[in-house]
Amino acid sequence: MVNFFRIYMLNMTTRLLKKVHYFIILMLVSGCVTAPPMTHEYRSNDNFPIPFNEAWELSNNFLTENVSAIDTADRKSGYIKTEEFNVPYEGFQYQSEYADCGTLGGLYVYHKIIGYYEIFIYESETNLTVVSAIPHYRASLWLGKSFKGWVPCRSRGYIEQLLMDDLGAKMQKSDPAVPQPENALDKEKDNNETGIAEPEINLTSDTELNNLMIKHETALQEIKKLNNEIIELKRKVNPGNNNKNPGEAELSDTESPL
């Protein structure tokens, strides 16, 4: 699945570059383009520590609620394709947070911008689930009443970023190990009412945990040493009493005085 996805991405990138280059050359020659679409940086894929089925359901729900209806969904191959949708834009500068279709010159206009998404979901070798969003945008180019063709556009990353953020947010919300803000506030409120102050523990790394364990072990050794010195001192004070009281037995390395 991973190799198939990489080959697919390479082919799609090559095809898109050829289309964009052809379009730029054609439009520059005809004098209808003042600025070609730009390449925008955004996050189109991410790794999530959730099962494949959960990532699949979350991705499907997000697309149907925020993008468009599902055209193809193949759970076995981890492939989802949405239906085409109309992209909103403003004015004759065709400003859209979804896609960048460049700036037109002369009498050329875009009548509409449409798009669809392909989603690939698969499990990586590190037991994480990878979700990748592949955008497809294009604009219909017209000169008066004559349709000139479809112009490839570049994504601005709006949908992709929303998808990744939505997956991350719902993943944390569904994880019982991640404390929720409202629960933490309620717990703090209860503690304030009862006058109980909970000790704060902030372990930011395995190194701090190891240091605490070392300090704990050192403290136990010091307590054992002091206890044995007390027993030895009592023997010297009472030389006739060599029997150890049950509570005065020397501590072994595995025993704790606590």
Q: pLDDT tens digits for 99-108?
A: 999 888 888 9
207 has pLDDT over 80: no
Domain spans in the chain, listed from the N-terminal domain onward: 2-174, 206-248
Flag the least confident range among 25-39, 43-57, 187-201, 214-228: 187-201
- Picking from 178, 94, 98, the residue whose alpha carbon sits closest to that of residue 141 is 94
Flag the least confident range among 14-18, 87-91, 93-97, 124-128: 14-18
Convert 174-194 to b/e letters by CB count within 10 Å (16 or more is b).
Answer: eeeeeeeeeeeeeeeeeeeee
Q: Compute and round to an integer the Cα radius of gyration of the chain.
A: 33
86 has pLDDT over 90: yes
210 has pLDDT over 70: no
- Picking from 98, 170, 173, 104, the residue whose alpha carbon sits closest to that of residue 131 is 170
Fold assignment, 2-174: Alpha-D-Glucose-1,6-Bisphosphate; Chain A, domain 4 (3.30.530)
91 has pLDDT over 90: no
Q: pLDDT tens digits for 25-76?
A: 555 545 555 578 888 999 999 999 999 999 999 999 999 999 999 999 999 9
Residue 146: what pLDDT? 94
